[in-house]
Amino acid sequence: MKFAICAIVLCGLVAPNFAKVFSPTEFGNVMLANGIPKGQIETWKCIAKWESSYNTAAHNTASGDHGIFQINERWWCSPPGKGCGMTCNSLRDADITNDIKCAKIIYEEHQRLTGNGF
């Protein structure tokens, strides 16, 4: 019995950061806290709504898209893409800090190439 209790407690301590579905307001607040300009928040909210319904666990196996922004594995997350320097699995947990970091990298690259990051 003691072993079972210890195992349950230990699993709780090392449990992964499971996925989360954000509310639009909560998502906007997290974006602001991570340096997204206030004037862009509604656009980012629209992207997250239509790409994943604000669900961090979203994964389109047909296209290879991951997370709340549906970031593509071909170029941006590994394996195989490496543009953002992170694993694709890390884009599907409740912590969207790295998703925002990668989305900023993608935005900046598109801004550089086309003049419009979106």
Q: What domains, with CATH codes, occur in the chain?
A: 24-114 (1.10.530.10)
Q: What is the pTM of this model?
A: 0.83
What Å distances lie between residue 35 and 40, 41, 100, 104, CA to CA?
Answer: 10, 10, 9, 10
Per-residue pLDDT of the chain (118 residues; tens, 9 = 90+): 444 444 443 344 344 578 999 999 999 999 999 999 999 999 999 999 999 999 999 999 999 999 999 999 999 999 888 999 999 999 999 999 999 999 999 999 999 999 999 8
Does the active-site annotation cover 65? yes
DSSP 8-state code for residue 39: G
Can 109 be counted among the known catalytic residues? Answer: no
Q: Which of 51, 93, 99, 109 is catalytic?
A: 51
What is the rounded distance in angstroms from the CA atom of residue 81 to the CA atom of residue 71?
A: 10
